[in-house]
Amino acid sequence: MRPEDRFVERLRQALSGRDEVVVGPGDDGAVVFSPGGPLVVTTDALVENVDFLPGEDPGRLGRRAVSVGLSDLAAMGAWPDFFLLTIGFPESASEELPLALALSAAKRGEEFGASLVGGDLSRSPEIFLSVAVWGRPCGEVVRRAGARPGDVVFLSGWPGEAAAGLAVARARAGGDRSAGGAGWTPEQLAVPDETRLLAAYRDPEPRLPLGRALAREALATAAIDVSDGLGVDAGRLARASSVRLVLESENLPISPALAAFAELAGRDAVEMALAGGDDYELLFTTPPDRAGRFSDPPPEWGASVRRVGRVESGDGAFLEEERGLRPIDDLGFDHFGVVR
């Protein structure tokens, strides 16, 4: 078990469960009973130099912080109502910085009907944003636990593009020695590819319409949003469900833009798709008799959805390659150790 997951496990064991808490720490969000029905709540933080590069446009940052928080709700099959925003910002900044952060966050929330209702400001050496979002399930709450052997594994979007976008942003900022050393520059990418990769990193799209469909139509037995890396998050879903998740190498969606970047930078596109992180796509499992629903996803879901693997009895997450099964549950970002 990875340090971050071990932390959550130790915390869960130490906490006394209350009846009103349907899902506590360890899922994408928490679900609590309230007199008016279940609430789904979640919180996410972005920290300068950890989750984003210094000098990032505040208008982008506030938007991204909200998108990241909403992605957790999407994975639970919930729709947001309102959110709180905490901003830490350095003494050197004027009030324009937190205002730009807050306004871009508020605007992003409004796109999904989620109001910014309050927050807190604090001085801090680095910029950080912490978003807490509340919403309601659109049907039965979708959890990480629930996948069953025989289920089909689906993934939205194009994993690894965000990681490539981060590498491009770093190279553009002149901060990536490895880029210089590898002898590539972002200018060597076709403009549409570079634009697409940067957007994947800087402006992820919370898969709320897809998550809503999963909950409303009871299409998913389990789901997780891919934030730390497809491999590690597949491993989390597998562990929560007590099953084995097998991703099939030939079905892993590798976008042309990612392939172009990988070739330019001398990286392995599949490894980037598995370990990249920051994707904010939904990985979910579906009973075989419902899998047909995804052969032609309606446009209002707003995302491509692709069958990427299968659920078996056993444990762990694996990539099935020509030479056999390779464990992937360690491929990704861990807030306790691996530096992105």
42, 71, 241, 285: which one binds its own copies (CB under 8 A): 42
**Of residues 277, 84, 63, the one with CA closest to residue 164:** 277
Site string for its own copies, 232-251 (x = CB under 8 A): --------------------
> What one-character-per-residue DSSP string does 137-204 give?
ESSSPP-STT--TTPEEEEES-TTHHHHHHHHHHHHTT--HHHHHHT--GGGS-HHHHHHHHHHHHS-
> Which one, 47 or 199, has the nearer CB to its own copies?
47
Burial class (CB in 10 A: 0-12, 13-18, 19+), 124: middle
Which span (42-50, 182-190, 294-302, 320-328) binds its own copies, by CB under 8 A?
42-50
Cβ–Cβ under 8 Å, residues 259 and 160: no
62, 98, 206, 211: which one binds its own copies (CB under 8 A): 98
Per CB under 8 A, 119 contacts its own copies: yes
Cβ–Cβ under 8 Å, residues 114 and 69: no
> Which one, 41 or 198, has the nearer CB to its own copies?
41
Question: Sheet harboring 305-312: ordered strands across?
Answer: 222-226, 281-286, 152-156, 305-312, 244-248, 317-321, 324-327
CB of 199 to its own copies, least distance (A): 23
Per CB under 8 A, 206 contacts its own copies: no
The token duo for 3 is 């340090």
Per CB under 8 A, 50 contacts its own copies: yes
Per CB under 8 A, 281 contacts its own copies: no
Cβ–Cβ under 8 Å, residues 225 and 74: yes
Number of residues that bind its own copies (CB under 8 A): 66
Which span (76-84, 217-225, 279-287, 312-320) binds its own copies, by CB under 8 A?
76-84
Which span (98-106, 177-185, 216-224, 310-318) binds its own copies, by CB under 8 A?
98-106
CB of 31 to its own copies, least distance (A): 8
56, 59, 124, 182: which one binds its own copies (CB under 8 A): 124
37, 55, 174, 181: which one binds its own copies (CB under 8 A): 37
Phi-psi region of 287 (alpha: psi -120 to 50; beta: other; left: phi over 0): beta
Residues 285, 234: Cα–Cα separation, whole Å: 10
> Which one, 36 or 181, has the nearer CB to its own copies?
36
Residues 231, 177: Cα–Cα separation, whole Å: 26
77: part of which helix (H) or strand (E)? none
Residues 330, 109: Cα–Cα separation, whole Å: 33
66, 74, 76, 106: which one binds its own copies (CB under 8 A): 106
Per CB under 8 A, 39 contacts its own copies: yes
Per CB under 8 A, 44 contacts its own copies: yes
Expressed in percent and rounded to 5, the helix, strand and coil fractions of the chain are 40, 25, 35
Per CB under 8 A, 25 contacts its own copies: yes
Q: Which residues bind its own copies (CB under 8 A)?
A: 3-4, 6-7, 10-11, 14-16, 18, 20-21, 24-25, 27, 29-30, 32, 34-37, 39, 41-47, 49-51, 81-82, 84-86, 88, 91, 95, 98-99, 102-103, 106, 110, 115-126, 128, 130, 132, 134, 335-336, 339
